[in-house]
Structure 1
Amino acid sequence: MDDKRNLIAAILLSVAILLGWNFVSEKFFPTPDKPDVTTTVAGADGAAPAATPATQGQPSALPAPGAPAAAAAQAIRPVNVVLAEGQRIPIETPAIKGSINLVGARIDDVTLSKYRQTIEKDSPAVRLFAPGGTEAAYFASLGWAAQGIAVPNANTVWTATGGKLTPTTPVTLSWANATGQNFRIEYSIDSNYLITAKQTIANTGTAPVSLSSFALIDRLGKPTDPHEQDSWTIHVGPTGYLGGKSVFDTDYDDVEEAPNRTVRYDSAGWLGFTDKYWLAAIVPAKGERVTAAISSPSANNYQTLFARDFRQVAPGKQVTTTSRIFAGAKEVNILSKYQDDQGITRLSNAIDWGWFEFFEVPIFKLLDWLFKQVGNFGVAIMALTLIIRLLMFPIAQRQFGSMAQMRLVQPKMKALQERHKDDKPKMQQELMKLYKDEKINPLAGCLPIVIQIPIFYALYKVLMLTIEMRHQPFILWIKDLSAPDPLHILNLFGLLPFTPPSILSIGILAVILGITMFLQFRLNPQATDPVQQQVFKIMPWLFMFIMAPFAAGLLLYWITNNILSIAQQQWMYRKFPQLKAAPAK
């Protein structure tokens, strides 16, 4: 009766885990919804019913005396229509293409040349920045706040010197007010994602002026895809190195709920908005003192802003300040290079590695190196698994030795269980004595499994966070190892026109995972407890359901690990055949 009760409890527990895991994984371990689609950050070009907030593009988080009134709200229009209007200076580098709007001197048109929205060959490039008046306006802007004089604003039309912004050709924008103050912005750009902007105010008037310069990033809306939103493992939203630490604990809702819809900081190394793969950030000059804020000027509108202290500019003098704008993909090596060479403090933390960064970064670097050697990301994952297995070989041998010892004493354990089947405490006491006499550690076999957990988590973070792994194919139907297996058994591998719910999205890789885990468990010594025996029989198929929604690369890692474990155990049994035959004696 007790055995039946325990068996029923084990089955109910397995079902609870299976059903509960679907909720837990969606909340804490999000996976891409589709294997071939990553939408643009700036959204689609279609019309939307909402209007652009009247405050968008105007600094609101920090005092800005003299800032002009915001323009009236505009109806949402397609991106290509807005880009075709007005005067623009093209931007072109090996990494990005776009333009600077001479109205407002905004960098509001950036697409990432190396990255596509989907895995299709004709898919358009990912759009990062889009101009105001579009569905998901997103741009960087520079400006001044002053007392008693006119300063450039969002409607100012600038004069350009230079026809195109490239790594070898800077562009200068200029504008003058009626009281003798001349404003200039000199833009330069490197071959990747960093734009440098030198802001100069030359006072040719007869009286001193007091002013401050600022830089901001303005964003309309936030990601609507549930897999692109902030989660326990992946931070999406406002971020930066603020107040002497990397900020991952402020999201869009926190900003909206803050007093005056603003979160202020007394210092900033950089700040901006991060998506899973993309980053837009503003960076003051190295060592420069600024104040910063993350704010929400109006509903569905968000800003990051830093401003310098007000200072006097005497007649005949000029003041130049330098700001930098990062607009691009969160490539690990590029972020690290800017951090080291440009002195941008902890820019590499724009990738939310989490607590185990010390472990995840080496995993990424090894995997990236293997990928560059073999040219196939799936093969690189398999090679990584082999390397990890080789490093863990001594531990695995100890595990196998422990399992072999357990196998040898199974007849004695069964005899004890029969002898004391009516006295459970006495049976446990005798089992502990047996373990001690035979020098067996029943928990030793769990050590490799425990070690696998941080390795699995590190690989999960690498697959989900690093742009280098995005849209990487393996073989046959696996076109993106950072996304789930696209072929589902329940819809006959796409022949039936429906998508199964995630809990039932069993793909080919998940089935192979279940089979290899079942074969691996078959080689392990059989547990003496009937309940444990039933749990071990159920566990491979339970894991098949649990792992099915995860990225295909993770399943490939686990399958490879299972196959290597099976091979190692078979080798050990052939080397010591008496271990396999021991229970029968």
Structure 2
Amino acid sequence: MTEDRRNFVLFIVLAGAILFGWQFVSNRFFPTANPPATKIEGGKQKPVATKSADPTADGVAATRDRAVVLAESPRVRIMTPRMQGSINLKGARIDDLTLTDYKETVAKDSAPIRLLSPAGAKEAYFAGFGWRDDGLKPPAADTVWQATGNVLAPGKPVVLDAANASGQRFRIELAVDNDYMFTVRQTVLNAGSAAVPVATYGLVNRSGVSKDPDSWTIHTGPMSVNDGAAHYNPNFKDVDKGPQRFTTKGGWLGFTDKYWLTALIPDQGATFDGQFRAGANQSYQADYSAQPVTLAPGRSVTQTSRFFAGAKEVRLLDEYTDHQNVAKLDYAIDWGWFRLVEKPIFYYLDWLYRDVGNFGVAIILLTITIRLLMFPIAQRQFASMAAMRAIQPKMKALQERYKDDKVRMQQEVMQLYKTEKANPLAGCAPMLLQIPIFYALYKVLLLTIEMRHQPFVLWIKDLSAPDPLTPVNLFGLLPFLPPHWLAIGVVPIIYGISMYFQFKLNPAPMDDTQKQVFALMPWILTYVMSSFAVGLLIYWTVSNVLAILQQQLLYSRHPQLKQAVPK
């Protein structure tokens, strides 16, 4: 078998591996997009309903209606510009919370995102605060606290009050800001005759694992900041094996989903013990306890913590981190290795969106910006390509002359590059520079809630999800939904066509195997890219179109690139 034929067979094997193995690899290591927000049936676009996790709570399967559970105990309403819910006075729990700015689906009548639910209801998820029983005898979990008001709102804190039989009074003052942060001030007044140990705790308990998969590039599940670093482990499986504990000064712990976060934030100047542990029926808990202090008779002590429950908005998390002294709360978004590139890309894209009002248009403007910045590099690339093309006959002659002496051939080729001032690597520079930009935009579209359910035009209702319109079922006219690995959308097809014309515009390679590879590559890329977020495909398609225009301009400056290579 000749070397050219062997290379072609190797390429076919690699292409087959991509076609049949890409979905497995992408789901585990490189998730491509959010689940589809819409589907097209009978030629009409319909919202896709979200799926719920299995309902368990407090080790008991949830069988009761949420409204019934909420009505079983007295409550204080939570009313803020961005949240609604209630505090359970039985046990002093924050266990009822919806985020009014975000909807479950893109449907106009969709319900808001429900983040917290009481124990015993479907998808139980709640926070609680209290004191360790190390001789203090604090209120029990079924204690009904007395409240000073009926509504908790920004600027209107609520104080919960209870007492024990030993003369100690307990107060929990709850305040909330205009976004998603609760402040919890826990006070003990010792009216007894003996000193008592006082140590506060906070907990977040949830039933079931995150609905969002935990992958190599995106962490969901238990998360903490301790010892000055963000830790995206343990995961739920690690917690199943046994409690995961740490001691630190400053930091926080909680549970992160792709877009939502609950975080217990103890006093950032004090040392605390944190842990993650598993309960019965797939329930999980994050909790902390502060260091104990001895409270003398007639004295009081107050310990303050905070609780974040809401959306992982980039600007908001940065605000809490930089100006409200919450260590690395912005790391709740798993930016990963390219953080230094991804955050500027996000902020520039968000700034464009605020100006034009459409994230799709903002992505197009971002693409134009990147292409303009890279134009000088592209000019040098084409000049190098022209020089490389001009020396092809000389290089072929050297390869023939020294085909039996590989070392001498390499030396002569390097001398030829130096003499002719040609750089074979210069053509790779624009592509290499685009890799971190492409990956950064991929992470921005996949991670940031600002991109969630953002429409573009026509049938594109969510730029962070794949294109739902596919010719496989005649654009929804046939009564079946093709599997996701086969549903190649309209935008990916446009992307493939743009890639085809860009390849056609490049100088034809001399090697026949390379010609065959380049002929197939646009269509393989069309398949691979079809499962990516449509916003990413818009970026890449516009980038290809601009590259074609740029190549036409540069070919006019370097016409020798379009000429046949002399023999």
Q: Which TM-score band (shorter chain)?
A: over 0.9
Write the distance in 1 (CA, Å) between the matches of 2:416 and 2:552.
27
Could you say which residue in structure 2 is the equivalent of 1:83?
Answer: 70
Partner SS for 2:379: helix
* AA at the equivalent of 2:24: F
**Would the alpha carbon gap of residues 133 and 360 (structure 1) be closer, same or farther in structure 2, given more than 3 Å must change?**
same
Of residues 120-129 and 570-579 in structure 1, the stretch that sits farther from structure 2 once superposed is 570-579
8 Å Cα contact 1:40-1:126 kept in structure 2: no
Give the ranges of 4+ consecutive aligned residues of structure 1 lying more than 6 Å apart after TM superposition.
37-41, 414-417, 420-424
Write the distance in 2 (CA, Å) between the matches of 1:128 and 1:302.
15
Of residues 289-298 and 405-414 in structure 1, the stretch that sits farther from structure 2 once superposed is 405-414
Pairing of 1:180-579 with structure 2 (within 5 A): 180-224=167-211, 228-258=212-242, 261-410=243-392, 434-579=416-561
8 Å Cα contact 1:91-1:165 kept in structure 2: yes
Write the distance in 1 (CA, Å) between the matches of 2:209 and 2:462.
25
Write the distance in 2 (CA, Å) between the matches of 1:207 and 1:6.
85
Write the distance in 1 (CA, Å) between the matches of 2:151 and 2:50.
25
Could you say which residue in structure 2 is the equivalent of 1:57?
Answer: none
Q: Which of 129, 149, 154 matches 1:167?
A: 154
Could you say which residue in structure 2 is the equivalent of 1:60?
Answer: none
Could you say which residue in structure 2 is the equivalent of 1:152?
Answer: 139
Partner SS for 2:57: coil
Q: How well do the aligned residues superpose, as a CA RMSD in angstroms?
A: 2.4
8 Å Cα contact 1:367-1:380 kept in structure 2: yes
Could you say which residue in structure 1 is the equivalent of 2:41?
Answer: none
* AA at the equivalent of 2:180: Y
Q: Which of 83, 91, 96 matches 1:96?
A: 83
Q: Which runs of 5+ in 1 are unaligned?
A: 55-72
Write the distance in 1 (CA, Å) between the matches of 2:49 and 2:141.
29
Could you say which residue in structure 2 is the equivalent of 1:69?
Answer: none
Q: Which runs of 5+ in 2 are unaligned?
A: 39-46
- CA displacement 1:427-478 (0-9 Å, x = unmatched): 9657656544433222221121111111111111111111111111111111
Write the distance in 2 (CA, Å) between the matches of 1:382 and 1:51.
45
**Would the alpha carbon gap of residues 493 and 504 (structure 1) be closer, same or farther in structure 2, given more than 3 Å must change?**
same
Write the distance in 1 (CA, Å) between the matches of 2:384 and 2:56.
68
1:117 aligns with 2:70: no
8 Å Cα contact 2:247-2:271 kept in structure 1: no
Shift of 1:7: 2.3
8 Å Cα contact 1:267-1:292 kept in structure 2: no
- Taking structure 1 as the reference length, the TM-score comes to 0.90
Write the distance in 1 (CA, Å) between the matches of 2:566 and 2:405.
26
* AA at the equivalent of 1:563: V
* AA at the equivalent of 2:181: L
1:105 aligns with 2:92: yes
**Would the alpha carbon gap of residues 39 and 187 (structure 1) be closer, same or farther in structure 2, given more than 3 Å must change?**
farther
Write the distance in 1 (CA, Å) between the matches of 2:416 and 2:505.
23
**Would the alpha carbon gap of residues 534 and 414 (structure 1) be closer, same or farther in structure 2, given more than 3 Å must change?**
farther
Shift of 1:38: 8.5
Shift of 1:510: 0.9
Shift of 1:541: 0.9
8 Å Cα contact 1:96-1:113 kept in structure 2: yes
Q: Percent of aligned pairs with the same residue?
A: 53
Shift of 1:522: 1.1
Write the distance in 2 (CA, Å) between the matches of 1:278 and 1:39.
18
Shift of 1:76: 2.6
Write the distance in 2 (CA, Å) between the matches of 1:312 and 1:543.
67
Could you say which residue in structure 2 is the equivalent of 1:13?
Answer: 14
* AA at the equivalent of 2:220: V
- Taking structure 2 as the reference length, the TM-score comes to 0.92
Write the distance in 2 (CA, Å) between the matches of 1:501 and 1:416.
53
Shift of 1:52: 3.1
Shift of 1:28: 1.4
- CA displacement 1:465-513 (0-9 Å, x = unmatched): 1111111111111110011111122122222343333332211111111
Of residues 92-101 and 428-437 in structure 1, the stretch that sits farther from structure 2 once superposed is 428-437
Could you say which residue in structure 2 is the equivalent of 1:63?
Answer: none
**Would the alpha carbon gap of residues 450 and 74 (structure 1) be closer, same or farther in structure 2, given more than 3 Å must change?**
closer
**Would the alpha carbon gap of residues 178 and 346 (structure 1) be closer, same or farther in structure 2, given more than 3 Å must change?**
same
8 Å Cα contact 1:378-1:553 kept in structure 2: yes
Of residues 291-300 and 211-220 in structure 1, the stretch that sits farther from structure 2 once superposed is 291-300
**Would the alpha carbon gap of residues 316 and 580 (structure 1) be closer, same or farther in structure 2, given more than 3 Å must change?**
same
Write the distance in 1 (CA, Å) between the matches of 2:222 and 2:50.
18
- CA displacement 1:15-61 (0-9 Å, x = unmatched): 223323222111112122323479779x47xxx6x75335xxxxxxx
8 Å Cα contact 1:180-1:204 kept in structure 2: yes
Write the distance in 1 (CA, Å) between the matches of 2:114 and 2:424.
55
